[in-house]
Chains A and B, each alone.
Chain A
């Protein structure tokens, strides 16, 4: 345990150094934010903007108070009584709405204007005309490729063999390989 005395001696260093060293354990983001805020706060209070803002707020509040006092906001006007509401014969009658021609909902259009009738029937979609040539290919895409197919060799009719289906076999070959 050599050196523990020297290590213990560090405990007695200045408290400001200890407090500063504790910033190591704050995350860099938090430390940066704190430094930025303190810097902003100091700059704000040192600037003449602070005093100007206080003066502006005070003068505005005084001015608004004067204006409101001049308009009589604080004192209600004298001899003002609310108007009496009396029922008349016309009030008892139910209001009649003028008959207006209602247009159907389907005729609504955003550009609808008075005097421009809109045809309610939907227009059928227009199909573009496509001319197809006799080969069934679209014009302009060339002609169909030609495929050369060799004519099929007529199957020889060999007696004793099944000639109905299956691959064409050489009649000279042994049909049963392994046997003479």
Chain B
């Protein structure tokens, strides 16, 4: 089933929309949540909450790319849950991601939307490989090892490219007056 047809089901308040969403994008949402929470049961709850949130928000919203819309909801819910469940060392790899990003993105939460716009502009100018690495690492919370396997690179190469991308992003944000 195409995205448009699923969205029409949401608009018609047909519960089949949830079933079709789960069929099409359940695995992708699960992966995003599992990378952050590192717990299958917590991830399943987050994915279910994603469907509920999508059900509540799609009318009036009409997402352009349903997959990205759902992944974003899952990610936000997973991060909220991670904050709630956080214990020291619960997901070491994710903590490393946080620290890496903190070095190049300023912390204030009120500028979040503006920052996201800058980051989007920056990423669109980057090489596709670097863009995929950045999003894989900092959106999907994949480890450098997993990214290396999926993109056919060495782990050290992934780390080096990520470091250079972060440096460029830091410079880019500094030029726009919101650097660290």
A and B interact physically = yes
Contact partner, A17, options B100, B106, B124, Cβ 8 Å = B124
- Is B101 close to A, CB under 8 A? yes
Contact partner, B98, options A3, A12, A16, A20, Cβ 8 Å = A3
Contact with B along A1-38 (1 / 0, CB 8 A): 11111111111111111111111110010000000000
20 intermolecular pairs with C-beta atoms under 8 Å apart: A1-B98, A4-B79, A5-B107, A7-B101, A8-B76, A9-B112, A11-B79, A13-B116, A13-B120, A14-B120, A15-B63, A15-B69, A17-B124, A17-B131, A19-B65, A20-B132, A21-B136, A21-B140, A24-B132, A24-B135
- B102, A22: Cβ atoms closer than 8 Å: no
> How distant is the Cα of A2 from the Cα of B83 in the complex, in angstroms?
11
> How distant is the Cα of A133 from the Cα of B84 in the complex, in angstroms?
105
Contact with B along A85-127 (1 / 0, CB 8 A): 0000000000000000000000000000000000000000000
- Is B161 close to A, CB under 8 A? no
- B142, A10: Cβ atoms closer than 8 Å: no
A residues less than 8 Å from B123 (CB atoms): 13-14, 17
- B109, A13: Cβ atoms closer than 8 Å: no
B residues less than 8 Å from A15 (CB atoms): 63-65, 68-69, 72
Contact with A along B101-138 (1 / 0, CB 8 A): 11011111100110111011001100010011001101
A residues less than 8 Å from B63 (CB atoms): 15
- B116, A4: Cβ atoms closer than 8 Å: no
> How distant is the Cα of A139 from the Cα of B132 in the complex, in angstroms?
83
User: Which residue in chain A gives the minimum CB-CB distance to B120?
Assistant: A14
Contact partner, B68, options A4, A7, A22, Cβ 8 Å = A22
- B138, A7: Cβ atoms closer than 8 Å: yes
Contacts A7-B97, A9-B112, A11-B72 known; A16 to B138 CB distance under 8 Å?
no
> How distant is the Cα of A11 from the Cα of B70 in the complex, in angstroms?
11
- A6, B101: Cβ atoms closer than 8 Å: yes
> How distant is the Cα of A6 from the Cα of B123 in the complex, in angstroms?
15
- A21, B83: Cβ atoms closer than 8 Å: no
- Is B139 close to A, CB under 8 A? yes
- A13, B131: Cβ atoms closer than 8 Å: no
> How distant is the Cα of A9 from the Cα of B116 in the complex, in angstroms?
6
- A10, B119: Cβ atoms closer than 8 Å: yes
Contact with A along B11-31 (1 / 0, CB 8 A): 000000000000000001001
